[in-house]
Amino acid sequence: MIRWLWDNPVVTAVTSVLDRRIIETAVALYSVQAMNYILPLVTIPYLARVLGPGPWGELMFVMSIAAFVHMVINYSFELSATRDVAQQRGDPDAISRTVAGVLGARLVLTVGILVVIGIAQLVSTTLADLGWLLWLGVYWFVAMGFHPFWFYLGIERVRTAVTIDVIIRAIAAGLVILLVNAPGDAWLVFTLQGTGTMLAMIVTTIMIYRHVPFRLPDLRLTIDTLKSGAGLFIFRASTGLYAMSNTIILGFVSAPAAVAFYSAGERIQRITTTVLQTITNAMFPRASMLAKSNPQQAARLARVSTFTMFALALVGVGILYLLAPWIVLIILGSGYEEVVPVLRILFLVVLLHSINIPIGHHWLIPNGYDGLLTKITATAGVIHIPVAIFLAMQYAHIGVAWALVGAEAIIMVLLIVIPLIKGIGPFRMPLRDSGTLTSTPMESVNS
């Protein structure tokens, strides 16, 4: 049995793509995700009790606005710039131009979004009442948006950057608990967290220039960078069209309890999806590099990662499906029994993500098919909206959960069928190399 497992082509294919650097990157990314869950578990209960409902509500409101700021500044550089750096290895000047272009683009985006927020605060009484608290929240998320984590992911050397980020964020969280003791201290939350994030951003940015020469951004580089990432930015926005619209739809057509049941299930499902997304992100730089240097190996990696993710998700979802009642009881407590069927439906989304994410992130994006991925996602989003409204009116939280499954199913079918029809799919590569291949995917298309 051991010999059969060792020589099995599927096992060989999986172990061949998971080398030391990919595993190290995955471990570092999982450390970041762990901190993303652990720190809120420590700070949120403390702040909710110390600040009280009023200041705590203001804090959450400001963070929701600041998260929009982060989305704009972040653009799509965690995909587009990471891909560029991964494909430019061995060319420090090219990487230096990419770094300068991202910096210039983020400066332009920051100025634009700050002007918008300033005007909004002038015309909105609600935002005006927030005063400097709004700008302190924006300060925190602007610093987060400038963090150059994408660069270290692109060169597959994330350990040092993650270590610095985790240490400084942990210190900032500790200072929040130590210094925030009354409702009037709400401003300290954003000041301390923002300063910690700013410090981590400055240190990791300076460290970049140990690898590449320093270069100031110019107008041409800035414009080119914004253009190159525009498609993936639209892709991110399109994903939000169907992923985040269900709660809003339920709020308009259903009872508040239905919103609570769906939102609770969706948050738990999102944690499960993050586990898959993290290992996918760890392999993204390698997929981008191979797409340029070795198309055959790139296709093989995309195929192996898709099959592997699906197999792992199938086992995991099966276990979580059975454990759903206990998961809901432990996390949410009694009174949330209606979340169980929602969660079980949304676990199907995790299963579909295990196919959609590797195909998109390990094949289409590395090979520059951003436009195709955006069109597929936007199509699913447009179809999803009327379907979700109809199902929400008929079946409330259960209906919108099925609507989300339907959107992901549409994406899966289109991601598989369209590349096959166009002759650009990765699913023609054998799991085990059988000698030298004589044609690349693009040559096959031409022939």
Q: What is the pLDDT of residue 413?
A: 92
Residue 400 · residue 388 · CB < 8 Å: yes
Counting as low any pLDDT under 50, the low residues of the chain are: 2, 5-6, 11, 15, 17, 429-447
Q: What is residue 409's predicted lDDT score, i.e. its pLDDT? A: 94
For the chain, what is the radius of gyration of the CA atoms?
Answer: 23
List the domain boundaries for the chain. 18-240, 244-434
Residue 243 is predicted with a pLDDT of: 67
CA distance 355 to 253: 32
Say what the pLDDT of residue 250 is. Answer: 77
Output the pLDDT for position 72.
Answer: 86
Q: Residue 366 and residue 291: Cα distance in Å, rounded?
A: 6
Fill in the amino acid letter for 339.
V
pLDDT of residue 295: 81
> Cα 100 to chain center, whole Å?
23
Burial tier of 125 (Cβ tally within 10 Å: 0-12, 13-18, 19+):
exposed
pLDDT at 281: 73
**Alpha carbons within 13 A on the beta-carbon side of 186:** 24
Q: What is the pLDDT of residues 315-324, one digit of tens each?
A: 988 998 999 9
Which DSSP string corresponds to 150-178? HHHHHTT--HHHHHHHHHHHHHHHHHHHH
